[in-house]
């Protein structure tokens, strides 16, 4: 696995790279400290499987530059790193198809766990956003704002109920218990939601539903 770390904070970058070197799948590791160096690598036709990029390095227009990264390294999974734990920043990153969001204020053990998930090909969602999604509402204080999708189709009541539970951070087993159905039924509803929202996992379903105004952010 070829990995690029783009970060202009020397202490963090060096420590982060040392953690990455613990993984046997790593075959190449490069570090850069500014965005121009990233562009140079792209011009040299360098390819990477995984890119970790610091939000500060991208600057105030980080969303636009993140999209640029996706364009110049189309095969790479890109993870954003930032000191911000603001839910909007995190949700924006996932709406741009980030493979993960690592908060740089996290403990070493949490970062190692995040790296393990990401290197294994999983999406990493930080506890900061999960805590926000797990704030449970009382019955009748639903988070679903509309059942109507942009294409005019409607989510079923059960699909909306599952979406709400997903936003609260519940597992399939917990959702099945809350809805008094089997886990297999929950999986069917989740698969239908993913198709309707044109996403490939439950985290992106919640992020997309919030962005579309279906689900309260």
Q: Would you kindly state where each structural domain of the chain is located, as residue ranges?
A: 2-127, 134-211
- Residue 156's pLDDT is what? 85
Dump pLDDT digits (tens) for 110-142.
888 889 889 988 888 876 665 554 444 434 344
- Residue found under tokens 């070829």: 2
DSSP class of residue 47? -
Class of domain 2-127: alpha beta
For the entire predicted model, the pTM comes to: 0.64
The stretch 101-118 carries a mean pLDDT of: 87
Burial class (CB in 10 A: 0-12, 13-18, 19+), 66: buried
- Residue 165's pLDDT is what? 87
What residues have CB less than 8 Å from 117, skipping those under 6 apart? 100, 123, 124
- Residue 140's pLDDT is what? 36
The encoded tokens of residue 208 equal 């997309």
**CATH dotted code for 134-211:** 1.10.10.10
DSSP class of residue 173? H
Question: For helices 108-119 and 10-20, what crossing angle results, to 10°?
Answer: 50
Dump pLDDT digits (tens) for 51-86.
999 999 998 889 999 999 999 999 999 999 998 888
Distance in angstroms (rounded) separating the CA atoms of residues 67 and 206: 21
Residues constituting the chain: 217
């Amino acid at each position: 696995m070829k990995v690029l770390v783009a970060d202009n904070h020397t202490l963090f970058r060096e420590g982060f790279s040392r953690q990455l070197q613990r993984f046997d799948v790593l075959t190449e590791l490069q570090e850069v400290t500014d965005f121009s160096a990233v562009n140079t690598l792209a011009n040299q036709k360098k390819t990477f499987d995984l890119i970790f990029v610091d939000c500060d390095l991208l600057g105030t227009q980080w969303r636009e530059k993140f999209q640029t990264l996706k364009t110049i390294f189309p095969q790479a999974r890109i993870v954003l790193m930032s000191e911000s734990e603001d839910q909007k920043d995190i949700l924006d990153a996932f709406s741009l198809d980030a493979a993960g969001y690592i908060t740089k204020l996290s403990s070493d053990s949490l970062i190692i766990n995040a790296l393990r998930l990401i290197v294994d090909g999983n999406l990493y969602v930080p506890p900061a956003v999960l805590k926000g999604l797990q704030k449970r509402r009382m019955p009748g204080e639903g988070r679903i704002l509309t059942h109507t999708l942009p294409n005019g189709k409607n989510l079923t009541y059960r699909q909306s109920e599952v979406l709400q539970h997903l936003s609260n951070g519940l597992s399939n087993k917990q959702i099945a218990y809350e809805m008094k159905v089997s886990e297999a039924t929950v999986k069917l509803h989740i698969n239908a939601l993913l198709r309707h929202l044109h996403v490939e996992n439950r985290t992106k379903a919640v992020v997309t539903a919030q962005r579309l105004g279906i689900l309260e952010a």
